[in-house]
Structure 1
Amino acid sequence: MNDRQQNTRNFSIIAHVDHGKSTLADRLLEIGLVTDQRTKKDQILDSMDIERERGITIKANNASFDYRANDGNLYHLNLIDTPGHVDFTYEVSRSLAACEGVLLIVDASQGVEAQTLANLYLAMELDLRIIPVINKIDLPSADIDKCKIMIEESLGLNPDEAIPISAKTGLNVKDVLEAICKMIPPPKGDRNAPLKALIYDSFFDTYMGVVAKIRLFNGKLKKGEQIHMMNVGRDFIVTEVGVNRLTMVPVEELQSGDVGYVVAGMKKMGDAKTGDTITLSNDPTDSVVQGFKDAKPMVFAGLFPINGEDFEVLVDAIEKLKLNDSALTFERENSIALGFGFRVGYLGLLHMEIVQERLEREFNLALITTAPSVKFRITTSKDETVEIDNPSKWPDPVSIEKAEEPFVKATIISPETYVGNIMSLVIEKRGVHMDTVYLSKDKVQLTYELPLTELIFQFYDKLKSYTKGYASLDYEEVGYRESKLVRMDILVNGEPVDALSSIVHKSKAEERGRAIIEKLKDLIPRHQFMIPIQAALGSKVIARESISALRKNVTAKCYGGDISRKKKLLEKQKEGKKRMKQIGNVEIPQEAFLSILKTSD
């Protein structure tokens, strides 16, 4: 192992959302002299406006910098940033696979949260050196001693190694750098072995095409060599290699242990998939980096432009966004109510919100999203298995042998006071209690299995309101379970509105159907005829409301005279209304869709 490799440290920062990852990264980069007063800004590794506004990290990022430690050696540090939200767990796992150690941040005022644990388990699986850091000690509510007890009892880490810091003020941040140099081992690997590198992320650059961010485990890589993507099975010629010091700096060659980037004339994001292994075409390695999988969408929803003529702009926009977000899947869809649009697959609800926000901001579109659903599995009476992510493709109930829906294992960490509230919420959402663990005398970890469909319908919002914002949630997929699923249609004046159809559990159908039609009753304007609104399962109506007709006073022009003249006019109006009802087409305003889809629970 040469000196450069001996003095290289690859590390990542993991934490629950909003525990101070990006702020600590900012301080480390200032000490590493990568940023100065001129280029300094908060959340420096968060490149998107949305990330800065919401204070969350969506895309993993990285930065390399040098640090002269107290032992006199100059260390090359590679910080690989990770997203904190549960939707992006796969990206976190790939970022961690590129490291030898992690800083695990615990908020001094909040203690251990659900994603702190989830990310800790990811780091343990990869056998990384974990350094606990207690952040936000400058807050009046900070309790360092309590945090140390939780680090020992619920995380199983050595509390004496925990470094109390304030990333905001910079207090003790140098101690973190010293600990990285001292405790995290240098990268292993042989620079003379065949090339073996992991793509832990990639992004699209207008001039260079796809840029793959890589970590080399063995071998070396330089310009002009032909590389082979082992999972995708394609070859490319390298046009540039380099390291990221906040700006991309080209270098002669990268070698084992290095973290950098490679440009090789790749045109689409599918060419450089996160988790793929790169090797040389003429001297391939014999094994891939373990853990590669295609990012799998969990939540599906229709996306339509509010103005039909914007459809072409949406096509262009979603294809451009796909270049920067390989997890996005979409196919064209046509709705009678909403016109042309797309059926889009997302990693989760946050991902869905962010994609819609980026499309609206970056491409100046006005969009409407249909109610999110998940991928259901149907076994037909002919013993065929089909996966369905769109209510319009739901088969005839007679041909369904069994229907299955995806379940998740949800971990909720909350103060003990709110356990009763959480239990009633989970029962309401068809959840099954699995386990309860006390992390400290007043903090409880609850584990449940519940259907993903229930989790995506306002579960998180309700959990936050039931626990005054103190509970935290993390979840992972556990496979499919058989369920009594039905397709619920909403009929307006006898016509089904396809954009409002949904697949629900039989026990929830009436409650959800009633909520939607009551909302529609308030939102659809009155017409000259009575409009029935119904929720139906097949031909069986389970809930109904009526919008009464607008009554035009046809007898106003009749003053005095015989009553039979008035009766004659009213009869004529009655006949006209009958005809109108047969040919009358109900106008459903756009706001009706928007408000129903926002509260479709």
Structure 2
Amino acid sequence: MEDYPCDVIRNFSVIAHIGFYLSASLFVCVTDEFLLDHGKSTLADRLLELTGTIAAAKSGKNEQVLDKLKVERERGITVKAQTASMLYDWNGKRHLLNLIDTPGHVDFAWEVSRSLAACQGVLLLVDCSQGVQAQTISVFHNAKERGLKIIPVLNKIDLPAAQPERITAQMQATFGIDPKDVIKISAKTGMGVDNILQAIIERIPPPSGGLQNPFKGFLFDSFYDRYRGVISLISMQDGILRVGDKISSIHTRKKYEVTELGLMHPEEVPTGSLFPGQVGYMACNMKDPADALVGDTLFCVGKPVEPMPGFKPAKAMVYAGVYPMDSGDFPKLEESIKRLTLTDRSVTVSRESSTALGQGCRLGFLGTLHMDVFRQRLEDEHDANIIITAPTVPYKIVYRDREVIISNPTEFPEVTDTASKVKEIQEPVVKATIIVPEGARSSWIVCQRVTETSTAYFGDMMDLCFSRRAEDVEHRYLDTGEGEARMMLTCVLPLSEIVTDFFDQLKSRSSGFASFDYEDHGYRKSELAKMVFLLNSKPVDALAIIVHRSSQDAIGRTWVKKLHKVIPRQLFEVPIQAAIGKKVIARETLSAMRADVTAGLYGGHYERKMKHLENQKEGKRKMKRMGTVNLPQEAFYDILSRSK
């Protein structure tokens, strides 16, 4: 490793917008990157092949080499940032290129921020047929704020719908990028990818670090190995680290002995030492995963260093309860969640219990896609059979003497408390950005017709935002040109409105052309209430939800109809009610199962039959007063699973 000083090292990442494609609802719209992805993982495959890091596949091109999780391969998305070191000869000198393939979805922005902290430059990937998208703007400014060198790359130039000149003009108008700096490639075919390797070496500055300085390492990721404990990914800032060195953490002050060092090439390759500017993995018999704090600074024992800035802790934006289908499987589920969170530190976990569902866990996620990916990983990697409750967002309850953040609807204050003790209720809001490109074009459509089509899309977007309680709505033309019109709409939206079917509606109303991005925008006062569902006048705590007063009637009617379909019939009549406080918002009645008590009666007066029927009615009235409706786990699964 001493043959690779800082001047031959380049640390870079690949960032891009994620395309919102299809959705499947879990009371939410879970977006998925599929057809509209910009090709980050495909580009990573070509770079690994060109540098000889991996051999070309016998059947053709390698696909998603760095996407190692089953969920990543099935969905075609990157969920977990992956590191790969490549060796490349250029102008008679061998260079060490450290690539970090990052996720593209806003739900995994924390993964991206950790990756960028270990880099000096980025490849900004833009789809040549889709153009600049909402999240393209977000990731560009994220990299620019960190002072990273940005190399613009235009991908998919081989597609029939590719418009390289027009998209290059968009990038120039939006980002101020010189068109001469844009590299045009096709990651799928490999066309022009060798120019990227040259640009990485020539444009991205090498890392800085001194051999004579004390060891200083930046921990930017970790994963767990059942035999070696916590494996940390570190970026070498200063000094030399060798196997056998005694190191310490600035965060925990705990001491460890380095047992293994190496590079991800792309699998683990032991090296015995790491030098300044290099990125590699480290094993040091760290047993407690909580000790591997992402953003921590490591140093040699007895040689303290100044800590690096680190990261802000991940802030959960969506919460959901996770319960096993069989209540006896809770210990296994809890252990599975604990192991899975070792590779995803942005998930928050706490225990909770429900009278209907039993013991479970309350999990906090960065978004709805994050939640759905975590659910699928539980099922795929740990064979878990689970029920996930309807997702909620964290609300702020402002009492007269304190403020409380709640994420569980059962903790939400009752209507009587709201009137007497609660000063106000606030809900989280986000700053949303929607870019509406022109409609589908044909050669005979003139500029005026295209503008009208785009305006129609824009009107639908405005209507969608106002129907979701949008505020501070603004819009402007992002760029104009011959035969095109693109508008950017910004507004402040309640987060709870986004975790419903917002993405579904966005794509439906824009024929799939609109792109969307959002960022946290704090809290705002709102008129909210807790809606509970009563079965035979008894509340079901697991089904409680928090609704806005303006939509409480529609939501109540929708839910009681769903409950009416899935609850099994009882021997007595069951009223299904949605209530806020003591006010019933909606009701459906589940009719009773009736046995034919007169079937064995032949002849005689009709009063004989009436007597049997009256006895049956009286028995059902007694059962209704004393009986309980046990909502089976299958019914919960039907209600809370994805709508068909």
TM-score (norm 1): 0.95
Q: Is the 8 A contact 1:524 1:587 kept in 2?
A: no
Moved more, 167-176 or 564-573: 564-573
Residue 504 of structure 1 corresponds to 547
Q: Is the 8 A contact 1:91 1:200 kept in 2?
A: no
Residue 406 of structure 2 corresponds to 388
Residue 13 of structure 1 corresponds to 14
Of 413, 418, 427 in structure 1, the residue corresponding to residue 457 of structure 2 is: 418
Is 1:294 matched up with 2:313? Answer: yes
Residue 273 of structure 2 corresponds to 253
Of 426, 432, 437 in structure 1, the residue corresponding to residue 471 of structure 2 is: 432
Of 297, 304, 309 in structure 1, the residue corresponding to residue 323 of structure 2 is: 304
Moved more, 224-233 or 316-325: 224-233
Matches within 5 A, 1:75-474: 75-286=95-306, 288-381=307-400, 383-396=401-414, 397=417, 398-415=420-437, 416=454, 417-441=456-480, 442-474=485-517
Aligned residues: 597
Moved more, 444-453 or 140-149: 444-453
Shift of residue 62, structure 1, vs aligned partner: 0.8
Shift of residue 229, structure 1, vs aligned partner: 2.2
Deviation per residue, 1:456-509 (Å, 9 max, x gap): 112122212222222222211111112222111011110101111012222222
Aligned letter for 1:158?
D
Shift of residue 399, structure 1, vs aligned partner: 2.5
Aligned letter for 2:460?
N
Q: Is the 8 A contact 1:60 1:83 kept in 2?
A: yes
Query: For residues 544 and 562 of structure 1, do their structure 2 counterparts lie closer, same or farther at Cα, with a shift above 3 Å needed?
Result: same
Residue 32 of structure 1 corresponds to 51
Shift of residue 528, structure 1, vs aligned partner: 2.7
Aligned letter for 1:439?
L
Residue 588 of structure 2 corresponds to 545
Shift of residue 252, structure 1, vs aligned partner: 3.5
Is 1:52 matched up with 2:70? Answer: no
In 1, the alpha carbon distance for the partners of 2:149 and 2:190 equals 23
Q: Is the 8 A contact 2:566 2:639 kept in 1?
A: no
Aligned letter for 1:466?
R
Residue 62 of structure 1 corresponds to 83
Of 589, 603, 609 in structure 2, the residue corresponding to residue 566 of structure 1 is: 609
Residue 528 of structure 1 corresponds to 571
Moved more, 204-213 or 142-151: 204-213
SS at match of 2:213: coil
Which consecutive segments of 4 or more residues in structure 1 shift more than 4 A? none
Higher relative contact order (CA 8 A, sep 6+): 2
Instruction: Give unpaired runs (5+ residues) of structure 1.
Output: none
Aligned letter for 1:413?
I
Of 468, 471, 482 in structure 1, the residue corresponding to residue 525 of structure 2 is: 482
Q: CA RMSD in A?
A: 1.9
Shift of residue 38, structure 1, vs aligned partner: 6.3
In 1, the alpha carbon distance for the partners of 2:7 and 2:421 equals 64
Moved more, 82-91 or 387-396: 387-396
Deviation per residue, 1:207-263 (Å, 9 max, x gap): 221111111222222222222222344332222222111121222322221111121
In 1, the alpha carbon distance for the partners of 2:463 and 2:640 equals 25
Q: Is the 8 A contact 1:243 1:259 kept in 2?
A: yes
Query: For residues 366 and 440 of structure 1, do their structure 2 counterparts lie closer, same or farther at Cα, with a shift above 3 Å needed?
Result: same
SS at match of 1:215: strand
SS at match of 2:99: strand
SS at match of 2:563: helix
Q: Is the 8 A contact 1:302 1:343 kept in 2?
A: yes
Deviation per residue, 1:12-68 (Å, 9 max, x gap): 110112100000000001011110146984111111111111111111111111112
Q: Is the 8 A contact 1:268 1:323 kept in 2?
A: no
Instruction: Give unpaired runs (5+ residues) of structure 2.
Output: 19-36, 438-453
Moved more, 87-96 or 393-402: 393-402
Deviation per residue, 1:547-594 (Å, 9 max, x gap): 223333333333432222222222212211111111222243444323
In 1, the alpha carbon distance for the partners of 2:180 and 2:501 equals 41
In 2, the alpha carbon distance for the partners of 1:336 and 1:9 equals 56
Shift of residue 393, structure 1, vs aligned partner: 1.7
In 2, the alpha carbon distance for the partners of 1:509 and 1:292 equals 39
Deviation per residue, 1:304-323 (Å, 9 max, x gap): 11122222221221122122
Aligned letter for 1:110?
Q
Shift of residue 291, structure 1, vs aligned partner: 4.3
In 2, the alpha carbon distance for the partners of 1:595 and 1:469 equals 29
Q: Is the 8 A contact 1:375 1:405 kept in 2?
A: yes
Q: Is the 8 A contact 2:296 2:310 kept in 1?
A: no
SS at match of 1:553: coil
Aligned letter for 1:390?
N
Aligned letter for 1:227?
I
Q: Is the 8 A contact 1:413 1:444 kept in 2?
A: yes
Moved more, 229-238 or 112-121: 229-238
SS at match of 2:5: helix
In 1, the alpha carbon distance for the partners of 2:364 and 2:604 equals 68
Aligned letter for 1:494?
S
Aligned letter for 2:459?
G
TM-score (norm 2): 0.89
In 1, the alpha carbon distance for the partners of 2:260 and 2:272 equals 9
In 2, the alpha carbon distance for the partners of 1:482 and 1:150 equals 38
In 1, the alpha carbon distance for the partners of 2:131 and 2:535 equals 51
Shift of residue 599, structure 1, vs aligned partner: 6.5
